[in-house]
């Protein structure tokens, strides 16, 4: 008798969508999304605390709706997957905590996966007519991300090849939308009004496309200069009652964003010798982006694949789909000690693996409270050069230094106050190292010894210096013997 293909639930809470998807193998059974977008509208952008609270309130209902849509019961769930990063720290924490609780209560494996790689996971859903051919480049564009990924293998070999150095593309759409007096979110509104506009009416800058940028930022993006250029132009010339002007500015701005996104994505495909491109993220709903990507892709013999809208924006199905592939390949589950990581690198598809499973070596992390994560040796080598994540696995030498200075200070403290120098150094390094999770004991000892030696050194210095000063004052005639 053949074994049943596992049913995987995917939970997504990295930004303002609460998504629960249910997948069995490469078949989508349910995809339910609730959005807290309305609650952010009056602020003109996503407010992290509001998003986190909204996830907490929405999750039980979204989960029930997804189970109902799939015609399943909680007892049918074989594994639970969740986005553990990148995204908004508080919002991620709600999903990760909730998913851990669910997995534990059902006694099923738990998978913490990467949000960006999850977007590519949509392509594994053959029930939706999708097909993942690798290698592929992925352009992921949303309110929080503008990333180019090179996917050689969706589980084992994903590399971030480009990112925004300032605003995300969706963020730029939202900010320019607000400037033009359009409702939030600006992206769909600009898309709508731009249909009546002339995209060649105004020429706005294309960030990081000049020859001087090609060395360092060939596949990186920048939208803050464009946003500022539109703002300056609008301040000087803008008339919100002139609908044609609004349409022309919207169309010209949109053209600049689309031009840069498509050009860089297709250039990345050619540079890496990859004949295909997958689009994902809320901005890939943009009609002009779709049109230009497909047309220019065809011109350059690059197969551009754009998932349907419900699978483009943040959703739980993509998370379930990625975890389903991991299960199919027999990957070990994620350790329950894994934490949400707002800056998770795209090269870490799974954010932590059970101890005692394939990868046993766990690297300890600095105490960034909600920003910490356990990473494996493999993860660390895969991350070489990714500064943000490597900062978390730094070797703790400062606590030892503090202890060393403390001992030296005590040894030198009787010697005419000489111990003061190492004592001060011991105090400085001790305070710097105090919060290091692996150096608390050493730095506490270093600090105690250093403070003690400082006090002794000062006392010795005073005792030694008093008779000398007294003698000098007497010989100078300032004091009677
Ligand atoms: P996130 O929640 O991480 O920001 P989403 O996938 O929900 O990502 O995408 C939301 C973003 O997509 C918003 O910035 C929104 O303005 C943008 N967006 C949605 N539809 C369009 C569109 N048709 N054109 C341009 N941008 C769009
Ligand atoms: Mg969103």
| pLDDT tens-place string over residues 106-137 | 999 999 999 999 999 999 999 999 999 999 99
| Closest-lying ligand 1 atom to the alpha carbon of residue 281 | 6
- Radius of gyration, CA atoms only, the chain: 29
How remote is the CA of residue 128 from the centroid of ligand 2, in Å?
22
| Closest-lying ligand 1 atom to the alpha carbon of residue 16 | 2
Same domain, 259 and 155: yes
Evaluate whether 139 touches 265 at the Cβ level (below 8 Å): yes
Same domain, 149 and 241: yes
Tokens of 448: 């105690």
For ligand 1, say whether the CB of 12 is within 6 Å of any of its atoms: no
Same domain, 76 and 17: yes
For ligand 1, say whether the CB of 446 is within 6 Å of any of its atoms: no
Evaluate whether 324 touches 365 at the Cβ level (below 8 Å): no
Is 350 among the domain residues? yes
For ligand 1, say whether the CB of 283 is within 6 Å of any of its atoms: yes
Same domain, 118 and 150: no
Same domain, 287 and 182: yes
Give the Cα separation of 309 and 131 in Å (integer).
Answer: 16
- pTM, to two decimals: 0.75
Among protein residues, the one with the nearest Cα to ligand 1's atom 16 is: 187
Same domain, 381 and 436: no
Can you tell me the mean pLDDT for 312-320? Answer: 97
Is 339 among the domain residues? yes
Same domain, 228 and 302: yes
Same domain, 155 and 69: no
Is 55 among the domain residues? yes
Ligand lying closest to the C-alpha of residue 280: 1
Q: Which residue has the tokens 């920048």?
A: 222
Reference 186, options 289, 282, 278; nearest CA is: 282
Lowest mean pLDDT among 77-81, 269-273, 420-424: 420-424
Last residue of a domain, one of 289, 306, 323: 306
Among protein residues, the one with the nearest Cα to ligand 1's atom 15 is: 187
How remote is the CA of residue 16 from the centroid of ligand 1, in Å?
11
| Closest-lying ligand 1 atom to the alpha carbon of residue 46 | 4
Most confident among 309-318, 358-367, 385-394 (mean pLDDT) = 309-318
Average pLDDT, the chain: 88
Is 1 among the domain residues? no
pLDDT band for 437, please (50, 70, 90 cuts).
low
pLDDT for 372: 33
Among protein residues, the one with the nearest Cα to ligand 1's atom 12 is: 282
* Cα atoms in the 13 Å half-sphere on the side-chain side of 311: 29
Same domain, 388 and 470: no
The model's pLDDT over 362-382, given as tens digits with 9 standing for 90+, comes to: 323 223 333 333 333 333 333
How remote is the CA of residue 313 from the centroid of ligand 2, in Å?
7
How remote is the CA of residue 214 from the centroid of ligand 2, in Å?
31
Is 181 among the domain residues? yes
pLDDT for 467: 86
Give the Cα separation of 89 and 462 in Å (integer).
Answer: 53
Same domain, 322 and 451: no
Among protein residues, the one with the nearest Cα to ligand 1's atom 5 is: 282
Whether residue 306 has pLDDT greater than 70: yes
Q: For every residue of the chain, which 3-state class applies, written as one string?
A: CCCCCCEEEEEECCCCEEEEEEEECCEEEEEEEEECHHHHHCCCCCCHHHHHHHHHHHHHHHHHHHHHHHCCCHHHCCEEEEEEECCCHHHHHHHHHHHHHHHHHHCCCEEEEEHHHHHHHHHHCHHHCCCCCCCEEEEEECCCCEEEEEEEECCCEEEEEEEECCCCHHHHHHHHHHHCCCCCCHHHHHHHHHCCCCCCCCCCCCCCCCHHHHHHHCCCECCHHHHHHHHHHHHHHCCCCCHHHHHHHHHHHHHHHHHHHHHHHHHHHHHCCCCEEEEECHHHHCHHHHHHHHHHHHHCCCEEECCCHHHHCCCHHHHHHHHHHHHHCCCCCCCCCCCCCCCCCCCCCECCCCCCCCCCCEECCCCCHHHCCCEEHHHHHHCCCCHHHHHHHCCCCHHHHHHHHHHHHHHHCCCCCCCHHHHHHHHHHHHHHCCCCCCHHHHHHHHHHHHHHHHHHHHHHHHHHHHHHHHHHHHCCCCCC
Ligand lying closest to the C-alpha of residue 88: 1
Among protein residues, the one with the nearest Cα to ligand 1's atom 20 is: 188
Among protein residues, the one with the nearest Cα to ligand 1's atom 11 is: 143
Reference 254, options 146, 159, 173, 321; nearest CA is: 173
| Number of other CB atoms surrounding residue 162 within 10 Å | 22
| Closest-lying ligand 1 atom to the alpha carbon of residue 15 | 2
Residue 214's domain is classified under what CATH number? 3.30.420.40
For ligand 1, say whether the CB of 282 is within 6 Å of any of its atoms: yes
Can you tell me the mean pLDDT for 162-171? Answer: 96
Can you tell me the mean pLDDT for 83-98? Answer: 96
Among protein residues, the one with the nearest Cα to ligand 1's atom 4 is: 143
Reference 96, options 372, 329, 365; nearest CA is: 372
Same domain, 188 and 322: no
How remote is the CA of residue 83 from the centroid of ligand 1, in Å?
18
Q: Which of 87, 187, 314, 317 to mutate to test the pocket of ligand 1 (most atoms within 8 A of CB)?
A: 187
Is 235 among the domain residues? yes
Kindly provide the b/e burial profile for residues 408-430, where b requires at least 16 CB atoms within 10 angstroms of the residue's own CB: bbbebbeeebbbbebbbbbbebb
Is 481 among the domain residues? no
pLDDT for 366: 28
Q: Kindly list the distances between the CA atom of residue 353 and the CA atoms of 121, 288, 394, in Å, as whole numbers in the listed order.
A: 19, 41, 20
pLDDT for 4: 87
pLDDT for 418: 84
Can you tell me the mean pLDDT for 399-414? Answer: 89
| Closest-lying ligand 1 atom to the alpha carbon of residue 35 | 7
Is 480 among the domain residues? no
How remote is the CA of residue 78 from the centroid of ligand 2, in Å?
28
Last residue of a domain, one of 306, 341, 373: 306
Q: Which of 173, 261, 317, 318 to mutate to test the pocket of ligand 1 (most atoms within 8 A of CB)?
A: 173
For ligand 1, say whether the CB of 177 is within 6 Å of any of its atoms: no
Same domain, 162 and 276: yes
Ligand lying closest to the C-alpha of residue 168: 1
Number of domains in the chain: 3
How remote is the CA of residue 281 from the centroid of ligand 2, in Å?
8
pLDDT for 414: 85
Last residue of a domain, one of 306, 339, 354: 306
Among protein residues, the one with the nearest Cα to ligand 1's atom 26 is: 187
Whether residue 391 has pLDDT greater than 70: no
How remote is the CA of residue 282 from the centroid of ligand 1, in Å?
4
The model's pLDDT over 325-364, given as tens digits with 9 standing for 90+, comes to: 999 999 999 999 999 999 999 999 998 764 444 333 232 3
How remote is the CA of residue 45 from the centroid of ligand 1, in Å?
11
Q: What is the largest CA-CA distance in the chain?
A: 109
How remote is the CA of residue 40 from the centroid of ligand 2, in Å?
11
| Closest-lying ligand 1 atom to the alpha carbon of residue 287 | 23
Which residue segment(s) compose the domain that 414 sits in? 398-475
């Amino acid at each position: 008798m053949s074994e049943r293909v596992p049913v995987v639930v995917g939970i997504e809470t990295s930004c303002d969508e609460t998504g629960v998807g249910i997948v069995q193998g490469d078949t989508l059974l349910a995809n339910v999304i609730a959005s807290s977008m309305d609650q952010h509208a009056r602020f003109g952008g996503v407010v992290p605390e509001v998003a986190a609270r909204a996830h907490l309130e929405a999750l039980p209902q979204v989960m029930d709706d997804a189970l109902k849509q799939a015609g399943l019961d909680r007892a049918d769930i074989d594994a639970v997957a969740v986005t553990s990063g990148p995204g908004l720290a508080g919002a991620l924490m709600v999903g990760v905590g909730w998913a851990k609780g669910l997995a534990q209560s059902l006694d099923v494996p738990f998978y913490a996966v990467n949000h960006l790689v999850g977007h590519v996971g949509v392509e594994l859903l053959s029930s939706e007519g999708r097909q993942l051919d690798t290698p592929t480049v992925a352009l992921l564009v949303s309110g929080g991300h503008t990333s180019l990924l090179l996917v050689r293998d969706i589980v084992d070999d994903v590399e971030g090849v480009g990112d925004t150095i300032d605003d995300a593309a969706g963020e730029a759409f939202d900010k320019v939308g607000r400037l033009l007096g359009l409702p939030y979110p600006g992206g769909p509104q600009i898309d709508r009004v731009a249909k009546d506009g002339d995209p060649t009416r105004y020429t706005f800058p294309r960030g990081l496309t000049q020859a001087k940028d090609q060395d360092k930022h060939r596949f990186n993006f920048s939208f803050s200069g464009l946003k500022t250029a539109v703002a300056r132009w609008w301040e000087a010339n803008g008339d919100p009652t002139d609908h044609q002007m609004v349409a022309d500015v919207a169309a010209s701005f949109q053209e600049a964003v689309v031009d840069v996104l498509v050009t860089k994505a297709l250039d990345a495909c050619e540079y890496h010798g990859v004949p295909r491109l997958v689009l994902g993220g809320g901005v890939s709903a943009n009609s002009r982006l779709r049109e230009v990507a497909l047309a220019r892709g065809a011109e350059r013999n690059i197969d551009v694949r754009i998932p349907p809208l419900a699978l483009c924006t943040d959703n739980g199905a993509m998370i379930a789909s990625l975890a389903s592939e991991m299960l199919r390949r027999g990957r070990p589950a994620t350790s329950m000690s894994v934490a949400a990581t707002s800056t998770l690198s795209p090269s870490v598809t799974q954010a932590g693996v059970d101890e005692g499973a394939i990868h046993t070596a766990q690297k300890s992390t600095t105490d960034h409270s909600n920003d910490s994560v356990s990473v494996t040796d493999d993860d660390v080598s895969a991350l070489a050069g990714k500064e943000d994540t490597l900062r978390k696995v730094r070797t703790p030498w400062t606590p030892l230094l503090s202890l060393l200075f403390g001992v030296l200070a005590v040894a030198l403290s009787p010697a005419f106050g000489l111990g003061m120098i190492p004592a001060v150094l011991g105090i400085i390094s001790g305070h710097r190292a105090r919060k290091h999770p692996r150096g608390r004991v050493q730095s506490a000892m270093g600090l105690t010894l250093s403070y003690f030696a400082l006090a002794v050194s000062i006392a010795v210095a005073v005792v030694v210096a008093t008779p000398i000063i007294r003698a000098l004052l007497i010989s100078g005639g300032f004091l009677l013997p």
